[in-house]
Structure 1
Amino acid sequence: MKNILDLDIEELKSWMKENGEKEFRAKQVFSWIYNEVWDFKEMTNISKDTLKKLEKNFFIGIPRIVETYSSKNSDTRKHLFLLHDGNIVEGVVMQYNHGNSICISTQVGCNMGCKFCASTIGGAVRSLSSGEMLGQIMVSQKQLGERISNIVLMGSGEPLDNYDNVVKFIKDVNSQYGLNIGQRHITLSTCGIVPKIKSLANLDLQITLAISLHAPNDELRVKTMPIAKVYSISELIDSCKYYIDKTGRRITFEYALVKGVNDSKEQAEQLVKLIRGMLCHVNLIPINEIDENDLKKSNEEQVKCFRDILMKHGIETTVRKEMGLDINAACGQLRKSYIEKREL
């Protein structure tokens, strides 16, 4: 059986036609599903014969929320999603004055090996389908009782390591027959798979591309991000310039500040030389400390100093607001602890 959420409207129309049904039934089915009716039997304007065909061929792949952790001020919720095959992934819902955002996973685990990220511990189990990504949003939206308007692909996994499914997800989530969330409200974060960045640029999507940079030179980047052994910073920056030229979209450079590792004045000046003149924005991130390494986040004074150097040189810079610290909202932390408890 196939997850019906993996189909777009045209694919479901084709299935209906091939199975002796009217194409408009596809719109009816999607209307029910995207209005939170997740049992074929409850679709009251569809004939019993059609419903039997749907039940025989499809399941509605909405994950089950097995645990939810809410921050003290209730602006952040972290969900553990149980997928149909028993795997667990994470998502974080963040409530802001301007709307609700969700950070979703694109893979079960991750193969990229970045030292400051817990989701890479144990490597990747498998990639998620487009429908499994949609399902994380749909079940979170239902639990929240409010519409989610912004999506960040920054949970477990490397989105560009799951390129085809992620691109399909972006198009499906943008569909008027789906969640109808505009591409400008979607951010894709990557550690820097250069050929895929160029492929993404050629699609001319209107999403925001965020690059996990975290170092101003190759020597330092290799120490924390194994991807740097494959693609140099110069290759990565060239691919970013290509993306900007093709799409006209501003890129975000994410820079996780680690105490005594990449937060010096000299490193800030190196970063200026690397990206000055580009259509970009820098998001400084005090790292979430994890048990599996001894990396510590920079203190407030060092973060401010680093930010001020960038801004002095005309580079727009913000410091990410820390949300969900009391619920271990960093990628991979809760999944790992949940699996460990389940295996006891």
Structure 2
Amino acid sequence: MSEQPKPLPLVISPPRRREKPPRHLADLTLEERQERAAELGLPAFRAKQVSAHYFERLTDDAEQMTDLPAGQRVEIVQGFLPGLMTSLRTMQADRGTTVKTLWKLFDGALVESVLMRYTDRATICISSQAGCAMACPFCATGQGGLQRNMSTAEIVHQVVVGARAMARGEVAGGPGRLSNVVFMGMGEPLANYKAVIGAVRRLTDPAPHGLGLSARHVTVSTVGLVPRIKQLADEGIPVTLALSLHAPDDELRNELVPINTHFSVAETVDAAKEYFDKTGRRVSIEYAMMRDINDQAWRADLLADVLNERGRGWVHVNLIPLNPTPGSKWTASDPADEREFVRRLEAKGISTTVRDTRGDEIDAACGQLAATES
């Protein structure tokens, strides 16, 4: 392998101070929304009315909020629901059941979300940062570096728009319900911990305080920020933890996931097991299959051993056929090698699936569309 990268700084923050996104209803708790109403010279119940429109009726259009005073509707909505992001481009694949959106944030930063409809569910993959500082060399987002953290409301709004599209029948298959959210878009969610936890609470709080999604249908991914994994375990929100491992040995993972120079494979997997022990939620191990890099049969055996050393039944391995970025040396594994990898894991009792690939023709890998636009 190539020369080992230098360790990243442990505390990773945006490169320079930026203007903050406008304060939005989705940033606020119920009490803070009532305080906001007072700031606007409104009775507290207006906050609940606007919350119901946004989280239950999935609208931010003042004209549709007929229970608000006609002469104040626009002013009230602007006070609670300022514009956060604009859709620059929407692309469809898989006969309209995969919809990718490129968003321009208020300060010009670009992020992406992908809505995927299946026969039994509809899942939206959302971004939590504009760019990413984790520097994983096979990831299009990581190649661009970090621009800034997203706010809670910017994160939540991606989901609200996706839920609205489903409810209005704008996705192939007719009207339906958004059921699942995965924090697997641009960024490292646990590096933007406060905003991501705020978003998780907005997504799972019962309406009209939030969207009312099941916490068990929300997945938060991480490359392995061990202290934050432990913190997440103590939040009392039973989301699914997805650990992007990609290699079972430190030598290779140091190259593929540079944060591993701070938190080894053993430390990272131990933290994931601790998450299972505290929450009872089975952990998903994400493993992008890269030809002749991490897809050797012996690495499948090693991966199974690393996981089984910490017990049985606490983990599920999700193999991901790599969606390569243009000009990259990283490419998807040979199907025969992928099948052997699965066989080796299952032979050692590891529950394993291969992720369904979606949207290859619309640059559905995280960061590809934003990189092209930039």
Partner of 1:330: 365
Q: Does 1:288 align with 2:309?
A: no
- Separation (CA, whole Å) in 1 of partners of 2:217 and 2:78: 36
Q: CA deviation at 1:175?
A: 1.6
Amino acid at match of 2:133: N
Structure 2: distance between partners of 1:102 and 1:2: 24
Map 1:135-214 onto structure 2 (within 5 A): 135-144=157-166, 145=168, 146-176=176-206, 177=208, 178-214=210-246
Match of 1:261 among 283, 293, 309: 293
Give yes or no for contact 1:110–1:125 (8 Å, CA) kept in 2.
Answer: yes
1:101 Cα deviation from its structure 2 partner: 0.5
Cα distance, 1:37–1:262 mapped onto 2, change above 3 Å: closer
- TM-score when normalising by structure 2: 0.86
Separation in structure 1 between the aligned mates of residue 107 and residue 80 of structure 2, nearest angstrom: 15
Q: Is the 8 A contact 1:62 1:139 kept in 2?
A: no
Q: Which moved more, 1:3-12 or 1:225-234?
A: 3-12
Contact 1:38 1:60 in 2 (8 A): no
Q: CA 1:78–1:20 in 2, change beyond 3 Å: closer, same or farther?
A: closer
CA contact (8 A) 1:72 1:326 kept: no
Asked if 1:25 is matched to 2:46, the reply is yes
Shift of 1:17: 4.5
d(CA) in 1 for partners of 2:123 and 2:91? 16
Give unmatched runs, 5+ long, in structure 1. 340-344
Q: Which stretch shows the higher mean deviation, 37-46 or 200-209?
A: 37-46
* Partner residue in 1 for 2:304: 272
SS at match of 2:144: coil
Output the CA distance in 1 between the equivalents of 2:83 and 2:233. 30
* Equivalent in 307, 311, 314 of residue 349 of structure 2: 314
Q: Which amino acid is the alignment partner of residue 201 of structure 1? A: A
Question: What per-residue deviation string (whole Å, max 9, x for no partner) do you get for residues 22-46 of structure 1?
Answer: 3222111111223233244653322
Q: Which moved more, 1:32-41 or 1:272-281?
A: 32-41
Q: Does 1:101 align with 2:133?
A: no
Write out per-residue CA displacement over residues 41-86 of structure 1, whole angstroms, 9 at most, x where no aligned residue: 6533223686576367444345322211111432211111122222
Runs (4+) of structure 1 moved beyond 4 Å? 17-20, 48-53, 55-58
- Which of 71, 74, 91 is 2:96 aligned to? 74
Separation in 1 of the partners of 2:247 and 2:73?
54
2:282 to 250, 255, 263: 250
Aligned-pair Cα RMSD in Å: 1.9
Q: Once the two structures are superposed, what CA deviation does each residue of 1:81-137 show, in whole Å capped at 9, x if it has no partner?
A: 122222211011111011210000000000000111101122111111111011111
Q: Find the partner of 1:13 among 9, 34, 37.
A: 34
Which is further off, 17-26 or 121-130? Answer: 17-26
Is the aligned partner of 1:240 residue 2:275?
no
Q: What amino acid does structure 1 have at the position aligned with 2:142? A: T
Aligned to 1:342: none
How many residue pairs get matched?
339
User: What is the TM-score with the length of structure 1 in the denominator?
Assistant: 0.93
- Which SS does the other structure have where 1:79 is aligned? strand
Stretches of structure 2 lacking an aligned partner (at least 5 in a row): 1-21, 169-175
Structure 1 residues 243, 72: closer, same or farther in 2, change over 3 A?
closer
Q: C-alpha displacement at 1:205, in angstroms?
A: 1.4
**Does the CA-based 8 Å contact 2:100-2:112 persist in structure 1?**
yes
| Aligned-partner Cα distance in 2 for 1:296–1:57 | 48
SS in 1 for 2:298: helix
Q: How many Å separate the matches in 2 of 1:152 and 1:109?
A: 17
Show CA shifts across 1:136-167 (max 9, x none).
11223333424311000000000000000000
